[in-house]
Structure 1
């Protein structure tokens, strides 16, 4: 690999890095599929290793939550989706650049502007069929070890060891690749708070990773720890079955938005509480300031940690003790000492998906083929350290290292354009995302998804263009006749009529 200043990585010649690569992508979720498509477009040979029996990653829903009621331990359940989950961003902002997330008619499809999780899964299936990606995916294959090794010509290769997870497996299989792209997501390993009394509290405790449906909590007193997106969403759902729901926020004043006030007035069994101070032996949950309730269940909606247990790189790239930072990563993608043969897709949070994953995948693919170059390892490391310092000075906590949308939105908007000639994220799409979240926080958390009559004139015009002149008009899904959907352009125009 030749860097910007002419440095050649690991003694490799420029000719070595101009040839097409044999690349392993770990994970067939949204980010892995985006990367695989971009790598193939660049001519690389791609093998996607996926531990589940289907594509989708987080969007592959399972009722088995791994909380003791099913057959699967929580640690081995990848998806954190609950049954009622719907998007908080409108579908128009969520599609691949050349395969928009148009409504599709037919049984089991969800044409709403903010559809449920299954519609995203079906859309990803449509994407796979349209771009013939399934032949690259090896299902039921869990990666257990990834380590660098010297290739025959002195270049860095990667030994990837995997095992089949069905039918007892066939033992470990080791394969050698020119490059590895890690695309395993970051919403699978629960992050638990440190609360006094957690270890000895004898009533039910679970993380939202293990939540699926509200019925089992009927008649209970429930404390939901964490007032983020999932905490508020689940708390609202639980009010329909629980005796009372107590939503504990780190900052109660900040959580008391206009929409929260409306919610508390509507649901008399919902209460906003301050941070949990400790759990008592008598079943009590004591909040800061001395408020207390005796609860049946404590549910932790406290986020997730990054975890790559299969990755063996010494100290070249690692997850910090808190699980919040993966590093060092140049632009959240390349570890300086191991670039470009090791890369990550999908690490950043609060970015438009899958658009951002496409841009990352295209950048990786072009760097691997020699069409784009990276700064030298030293310069990449300096850039990472400067980013850490700048964020610290700005008061951004380490746990937000990989958050872009709420911290550096312009950075994600311009990312693809800057590094791989990928079109920037369109202003109107960002407007409809911001508008939806504003309606949720300032007006009504329960109905904001179903209010589509207050788009600006600019957005309305862009939506008309999106539906009527998208390149996807001329696409047809490459699926068997028995499974075929109506042409995407046809369903798009039908959606316009509905609006």
Structure 2
């Protein structure tokens, strides 16, 4: 479990002073998903000149669905053709749309062909929201589609050299004949963290198992699992969705969740072909999977719904930033490397959060720091704060891989950044709606997206939205 909030953010300092001399910067934003689009808007609002580099053919990042999957279903082959999106066809949001939008651009229902009016819409509606956002704020004019950043590294006089080239979606290309080098004052990294799979490779026998294995990154539809016996590892939102999707066609689905209460082990209530298990004890070449609860099944496919690795193959920082056991660091408040602030920053690293409002706050902070309107602490102060945070995680027994897990303190974090920017914090209705949705999901996992009774919070959100929609 993460440590208490007071040991992480401690007592919030008073608002940072506004600086008198504003400066316009040339800023490279890497990625045109939700984080990159919101970053572009905030940077431009602050007066900066922005170029957004996007590997794909359209804006939207991980919300751009493709039926394609990678040639290596586990995602461990470095020579595989990388597919950016991890969406499965049936995915719907696990948050109500009112919670998801940025403050002054609500994620409201829109009329039109192919629009999804549901409160928990499908992934295509989220992509349309992001496309609407980009169009309404004119962000498309600064986005370079199908452009891969090969290197973003420190150059002379503290500037950043960004080398890019046309993308053919194959990150193993080695020719540099069509590369372009440009110089920027700052780099904002918004490349997401749902591309490089993490797998459960420490289970005895799993590397030699002869059955099929895949990561949820490459799951799209249930049809390939027809009449199969499946073992699915994971207990987060995607694991819950995918296990139920597969169960519509599979013979058996056995879900392995390390966080399960012993009383929950056994057949999943309301399902004839789904079982819950404790962790796997061992896997055998004859197809047997033995669970630590004593059960054994003969499986044909193992699906790893086990999360992702942070990956920045383009970034060169002379060792100032690294990824260690899935901790990106050292980073002050998950955003700024103390030695390179504010010239290098990261948006969207935290997980188990409401993402878009957090992106908005992080990028307002970054934009203000770059223009000299907002002052950051000294390098020494940021380093000390970051080291204290890491020490608190260690003292509480929190593994490094949970460094960016904000399940227990996202609102304190958001409000702390808002305080630095001198703007109002997260709306109370958004906090309460998130809590209600989380509780409803636990109580009604099968129907929470279509059954709710928080209408008063919806009305409160609508009243708030009217300030921006009229």
Q: C-alpha distance in 1, partners of 2:262/2:459? A: 35
| Residue matched to 1:136 | 142
After the TM superposition, which segments of 4 or more aligned residues of structure 1 sit over 3 Å from their partners?
72-75, 166-170
Contact 2:411 2:426 in 1 (8 A): no
Q: C-alpha distance in 2, partners of 1:326/1:68? A: 26
- 1:144-170 residue CA offsets vs partner (Å, 9 max, x unmatched): 11110123xxxx100111121149996
TM-score, length-scaled by structure 1 = 0.85
| Residue matched to 2:451 | 451
Distance 1:456 1:61, change over 3 A: closer
Contact 1:67 1:206 in 2 (8 A): no
Which aligned pairs between 1:19-168 and structure 2 lie closer than 5 A? Answer: 19-67=23-71, 76-151=82-157, 156-166=158-168
Q: C-alpha distance in 2, partners of 1:198/1:255? A: 27
Contact 2:361 2:414 in 1 (8 A): no
Find 1:283's aligned residue among 260, 276, 287: 287
Contact 1:359 1:415 in 2 (8 A): no
3-state SS in 2 of match to 1:23:
strand
- 1:256-309 residue CA offsets vs partner (Å, 9 max, x unmatched): 3xxx99x82211100001101221010111111432111110000001111111
| Residue matched to 2:3 | none
| Residue matched to 2:468 | 471
| Residue matched to 1:202 | 210
3-state SS in 1 of match to 2:339:
coil
| Residue matched to 2:422 | 421
Q: C-alpha distance in 2, partners of 1:90/1:438? A: 13
Find 2:374's aligned residue among 368, 372, 375: 372
Count matched residues. 443
Find 1:384's aligned residue among 383, 386, 389: 386
Distance 1:50 1:335, change over 3 A: same
**Displacement of 1:220 after TM fit?**
0.2
Q: C-alpha distance in 2, partners of 1:198/1:163? A: 39
Contact 1:74 1:210 in 2 (8 A): no
Contact 1:164 1:170 in 2 (8 A): no
Contact 1:239 1:270 in 2 (8 A): yes
Distance 1:98 1:464, change over 3 A: closer
Distance 1:198 1:412, change over 3 A: same
Find 1:403's aligned residue among 401, 405, 427: 405
Q: Could you tell me which runs of 5 or more consecutive residues in structure 2 were left unpaired when the two chains were aligned.
A: 1-12, 14-18
Distance 1:460 1:361, change over 3 A: closer
**Displacement of 1:114 after TM fit?**
0.3
Contact 1:246 1:273 in 2 (8 A): yes
Does residue 181 of structure 2 align to residue 174 of structure 1? Answer: yes
| Residue matched to 2:436 | 435
Q: Could you tell me which runs of 5 or more consecutive residues in structure 1 were left unpaired when the two chains were aligned.
A: 5-13, 474-499
**Displacement of 1:456 after TM fit?**
6.1
- 1:1-39 residue CA offsets vs partner (Å, 9 max, x unmatched): xxx9xxxxxxxxx99x84210000000000011111000
Task: Give the CA RMSD over aligned residues.
Answer: 2.2
Q: C-alpha distance in 1, partners of 2:386/2:277? A: 38
Q: C-alpha distance in 1, partners of 2:235/2:135? A: 38
Contact 2:71 2:81 in 1 (8 A): no
Contact 2:25 2:185 in 1 (8 A): yes
**Displacement of 1:99 after TM fit?**
0.8
Contact 1:75 1:189 in 2 (8 A): no
Contact 1:87 1:117 in 2 (8 A): yes
Moved more, 427-436 or 114-123: 427-436
Distance 1:355 1:464, change over 3 A: closer
